[in-house]
Amino acid sequence: MRNECEHVSCGSKEKVWMPHYYQGRECGLKPHPYCTECGLVKNLSSEKPRNTGFYINIITSLKDDFKMAQAQIRLMALDMDKYELEDRYGMDRHQQEELFINIVQKYANVPDWAIRRFF
Ligand SMILES: [Zn+2]
């Protein structure tokens, strides 16, 4: 189910202490604001998430080399929407990349390196 929440951050006193990540590595705890409507914790990474168009372009670039059918590409696009790849509130770039690789590999036989060279 897609989260249609507009995200309202809690006040500064109510932050939760959570691990902070940089380039996918944990680097200590930091107070994170969270959404009072849906509970999602805000991503504080300095690496801003990319929009879905960036990932769609990667799929388009891979399509011929890995003989992807239009139906497979459509399923990937639907999954990106379903798993909220573009939810900028909660997702950092590293999480986005890992999720994207999982989605692509669910529908097509594409090795990690082939996808990662676009990041
Ligand atoms: Zn929310």
Answer whether residue 87 is part of any domain.
yes
Mean pLDDT by 10 residues, the chain (119 residues): 79 85 82 91 84 95 96 96 88 90 97 96
Answer whether residue 3 is part of any domain.
no
Side chain identity, residue 91 = M
Answer whether residue 72 is part of any domain.
yes
Q: How far is the CA of 66 from the centre of ligand 1 (A)?
A: 37
- DSSP 8-class letter at 38: T
| Paired sense of beta strands 16-22 and 25-32, if any | antiparallel
Q: How far is the CA of 91 from the centre of ligand 1 (A)?
A: 12
Q: Which residues pair with 34 in a beta bridge?
A: 41
Closest to 105 in 3D by CA, of 60, 59, 52: 59
Q: Which domain holds residue 47?
A: 12-116
Please state the domain count of the chain.
1
Q: Which residues pair with 9 in a beta bridge?
A: 35
Question: What pLDDT score does 1 carry?
Answer: 47
Average pLDDT in the chain: 90
Answer whether residue 4 is part of any domain.
no
Query: At 21, which helix (H) or strand (E)?
Result: strand 16-22
Q: How far is the CA of 11 from the centre of ligand 1 (A)?
A: 14
Question: What pLDDT score does 102 carry?
Answer: 97
Answer whether residue 2 is part of any domain.
no
Question: What pLDDT score does 48 carry?
Answer: 80
Q: How far is the CA of 111 from the centre of ligand 1 (A)?
A: 34
Answer whether residue 98 is part of any domain.
yes
Question: What pLDDT score does 91 carry?
Answer: 85
Tell me if 32 sits within 8 A of 18, measured CB to CB.
Answer: yes
pLDDT tens digits along 76-94: 999 999 988 888 888 888 8
d(CA 61, CA 11): 43
Answer whether residue 93 is part of any domain.
yes
Q: How far is the CA of 77 from the centre of ligand 1 (A)?
A: 23
Answer whether residue 28 is part of any domain.
yes
Question: What pLDDT score does 21 carry?
Answer: 79
Q: How far is the CA of 53 from the centre of ligand 1 (A)?
A: 23
d(CA 76, CA 57): 12
